Amino acid sequence: MKKDQYLIEKNGNNYEVVIGLEVHAQVLSKSKLFSNSATKFGSEPNTQVSLVDAAFPGMLPVINEFCIRQAVKTGIGLNAKINKKSIFDRKNYFYADLPQGYQISQYKDPIVGEGSIVLDLPSGPKTIGIERLHLEQDAGKSIHDIDPSSTLVDLNRSGVALMEIVSKPDLRSPEEVNLYIKKLRSIMRYLGTCDGNMQEGSLRADVNVSVRKLGSDKFGTRCEIKNVNSIKFMQMAIEYEANRQAELLEEGGIIDQETRLFDTKKNQTRSMRSKEDAHDYRYFPDPDLLPLEFDDQFIEDIKSEIPELPDQKKDRFIEKFKLSPYEATILVSDLETSKYFEKVIKNSDVKLSANWITGELFALLNEKNIEIDQSPISPENLSKLINLITDGTISGKIAKTLFVEMSNGDQDPKKIVEEKGLKQQSDPKELEKIIDKVILDNPDNVQKYKSGKDKLFGFFVGQVMKASSGKANPKIVNDILKKKL
């Protein structure tokens, strides 16, 4: 058993959890996959629905080139094989929010084949295989809670392009799932192919979970938990489901391969009622569409648009800026964060910049529950703040006060320092006066210090800082104090 391995224990038996994810990522595009209506989130119901989206008789799909490019781009970001020929199939089933009675998807021949994602685990990197990525249409939305007697259907989302990204069953714990989703989202955000906004449903996943006795190399029967829309829920669902399956096996039961739903109120998974009607999707190539084909040049053009991706950026940060892998991982995990960091270090010390961003700034953003691109402190002003520390104008402690001050309205730290007189006192003569007074005022402690109570040194520093309203340069204070005592 490896250290930190995630296992489910039942009656002294350890079960390993095997997880595969089918992530549905909404493609960032202005218009839908096969129609020219808008994709904007949060519009009035049924106001972004074309005749094609509502499947009127005689309406036909015409593919959006940008969505194809986005899928190829994502495939390149996942180090995956790009298929120059792929086929759109119809997946046939009836549902209220599926106006065509079929979803146009890709079944046997997806646009993107095998690839991989590297996770940064505490124990080291782990590669998770990507099985495939294909393009498909999203369905509309059924709303059950407006009208007590009916279900209402909004087709605004109907026909929006999705990328279904299928992982291999390489994930082994809720934490790995967390890291996988975050990494995938980060890559897509870097590429600009999906905004990854889980609240708005632009990233959702079907989670396949099975368990097996530790040491077994055979996969157990899996259950698919449909349409989970937050990492937290995915983790809870996996935990519940793995325990349920392990318990069932311990009792000598058999796991049904089935589709389950995660009930976010009860924190449980349950079998979907509609399963009585066994699914038979009757996939076949959509005769309204021809095979999707493009040449090497098409792929090369997209390759030339690929920005530096998180893994490359991380390597560069470590190499060039001598950051620790840990710091680098945090700073590249989000494109906006990395951009912010690179702006700050243009004129400032790298190490301090990394500390301030991952420390004070992240805490502030967390507290305000906002993203870094909405940060009340601009990278330029944070850089100025850091420079005030490095050139000795202010102390680290003052800097923290200043930071709070700045967060109320992104003011120039230099200005605040001047206006409020926060400048550090570094003049040894001035400081000597204060120190002399502190020594004079505390004869008992001086005595104790001299008799070996070294710890009291801090007390003197504190007194000096207090007397100088925190402005004294701690380094110089230290030097003088050591001499005087």
Partner 1 sequence: MTIDLKTVKHISKLSRISIDDQKAKKLEKDLNSIFKWIEKLNELNTDNVEPLTSIAETTLRFRKDQILSKNIREDILKNSPKDNKDYFVVPKVVE
Partner 2 sequence: MTDIINLTLTELVNKIKSKEISSTDITSNYIERSKSSKKLNTYIEETFDDALVNSKKFDAKPDLQKKLPGIPIAVKDLYCTKNVKTTAGSKILENFVPSYESTVTQNLWNSGAILLGKLNCDEFAMGSSNETSHFGNVLSPIDNNLVPGGSSGGSASALAAKLTPATIGTDTGGSIRQPASFTGTVGLKPTYGSCSRYGIVAFASSLDQAGPMTRDVKDCALLLEVISSFDNKDSTSIDFKRPNYFSDLNKNIKGKKIGIPKEYRVEGMPAEIEKLWDNGKEYLKNCGAEIIDISLPHTKYALPTYYIVAPAEASSNLARYDGVKYGFRVEGENLIDMYEKTRSQGFGDEVKRRIMIGTYVLSSGYYDAYYLKAQKVRKLIKNDFDEAFNKVDAILTPSTPSSAFKVGEKMDDPVSMYLNDIFTVPVNLAGLPGISIPAGLDENNYPLGLQLIGKPFDEQGILNIAYSMEEKINFKLNTSDWWNK
Pick from 96, 363, 370, 404 the residue near partner 2 by CB under 8 A.
Answer: 96
277 forms part of the interface with partner 2 (CB under 8 A): yes
Minimum distance, C-beta of residue 55 to partner 1, in the bound complex (Å): 10
Q: Which positions lie near partner 1, rule CB under 8 A?
A: 29-31, 35-38, 44-51, 54, 62-68, 87, 94, 96, 142-144, 146-147, 149-155, 261, 272-274, 277, 280, 282, 285, 287, 289-293
| The entry of partner 1, partner 2, none that residue 150 binds, CB within 5 to 8 Å by partner kind | partner 1
Reduce the DSSP state of residue 333 to 3 states and report it: coil
Minimum distance, C-beta of residue 259 to partner 2, in the bound complex (Å): 16
Of the listed pieces 287-295, 369-377, 396-404, 429-437, which binds partner 2 according to CB under 8 A? 287-295
Pick from 63, 261, 272, 467 the residue near partner 2 by CB under 8 A.
Answer: 63
- Rounded Cα–Cα distance for residues 150 and 144 (Å): 7
| Number of neighbours of residue 267 by Cβ within 10 angstroms | 12
- Rounded Cα–Cα distance for residues 122 and 3 (Å): 11
Q: Which two tokens stand for residue 165?
A: 């990204």
- Our CB check for partner 1 shows the closer of 207 and 406 to be 207
Q: Which two tokens stand for residue 177?
A: 């799932």
With beta carbons less than 8 A apart as the criterion, state whether 372 and 338 touch: no
Q: Which two tokens stand for residue 5?
A: 């391995």
Pick from 30, 40, 62, 346 the residue near partner 2 by CB under 8 A.
Answer: 62
Burial of 187 (C-beta count, 10 Å sphere; 0-12/13-18/19+): buried
| The entry of partner 1, partner 2, none that residue 38 binds, CB within 5 to 8 Å by partner kind | partner 1
Pick from 287, 443, 452, 458 the residue near partner 2 by CB under 8 A.
Answer: 287
Minimum distance, C-beta of residue 159 to partner 2, in the bound complex (Å): 13
- Our CB check for partner 1 shows the closer of 280 and 367 to be 280
Place of tokens 């096996």: 249
Half-sphere exposure of 316 (CA within 13 A, CB side): 10
- Rounded Cα–Cα distance for residues 265 and 114 (Å): 37
Minimum distance, C-beta of residue 26 to partner 1, in the bound complex (Å): 14
Per DSSP, the residues of 265-300 read TTTEEEE-GGGGS------EE-TTSPPEE--HHHHH
Of the listed pieces 284-292, 295-303, 367-375, 409-417, which binds partner 2 according to CB under 8 A? 284-292
Could you give phi then psi for residue 165, rounded to 5 degrees? Answer: -110, 115
What is each CA distance from 93 to 104, 109, 115, 232, in whole angstroms?
Answer: 11, 20, 30, 30
| The entry of partner 2, partner 1, none that residue 292 binds, CB within 5 to 8 Å by partner kind | partner 1
Pick from 77, 99, 159, 413 the residue near partner 2 by CB under 8 A.
Answer: 99
- Rounded Cα–Cα distance for residues 272 and 226 (Å): 9
**Which amino acid type is present at position 373?**
D
- Rounded Cα–Cα distance for residues 156 and 26 (Å): 13
Pick from 6, 10, 41, 55 the residue near partner 2 by CB under 8 A.
Answer: 55
92 forms part of the interface with partner 2 (CB under 8 A): yes
- Rounded Cα–Cα distance for residues 67 and 63 (Å): 8
With beta carbons less than 8 A apart as the criterion, state whether 245 and 223 touch: yes
| The entry of partner 1, partner 2, none that residue 68 binds, CB within 5 to 8 Å by partner kind | partner 1
- Our CB check for partner 2 shows the closer of 152 and 248 to be 152
Pick from 153, 198, 225, 237 the residue near partner 2 by CB under 8 A.
Answer: 153
Place of tokens 């009930």: 263
- Our CB check for partner 2 shows the closer of 62 and 121 to be 62
Rg over CA atoms, the chain: 29
Cα dihedral 68/70/71/73 (nearest 10):
120
Minimum distance, C-beta of residue 350 to partner 1, in the bound complex (Å): 40
| The entry of partner 1, partner 2, none that residue 57 binds, CB within 5 to 8 Å by partner kind | partner 2
For 461, the enclosing helix (H) or strand (E) is: helix 457-467
| The entry of partner 2, partner 1, none that residue 46 binds, CB within 5 to 8 Å by partner kind | partner 1
Pick from 44, 145, 280, 444 the residue near partner 2 by CB under 8 A.
Answer: 280
- Our CB check for partner 1 shows the closer of 159 and 470 to be 159
Neighbouring-strand partners of residue 31 = 38
Minimum distance, C-beta of residue 148 to partner 1, in the bound complex (Å): 8
- Our CB check for partner 1 shows the closer of 294 and 460 to be 294
151 forms part of the interface with partner 2 (CB under 8 A): yes
Q: Which two tokens stand for residue 484?
A: 């005087």
Minimum distance, C-beta of residue 48 to partner 2, in the bound complex (Å): 16
Could you give phi then psi for residue 63, rounded to 5 degrees? Answer: -80, 145
- Our CB check for partner 1 shows the closer of 158 and 424 to be 158
Interface with partner 2 by CB under 8 A: which residues? Answer: 51, 54-63, 90, 92, 94, 96, 99-102, 151, 153, 277, 280, 282-284, 286-290
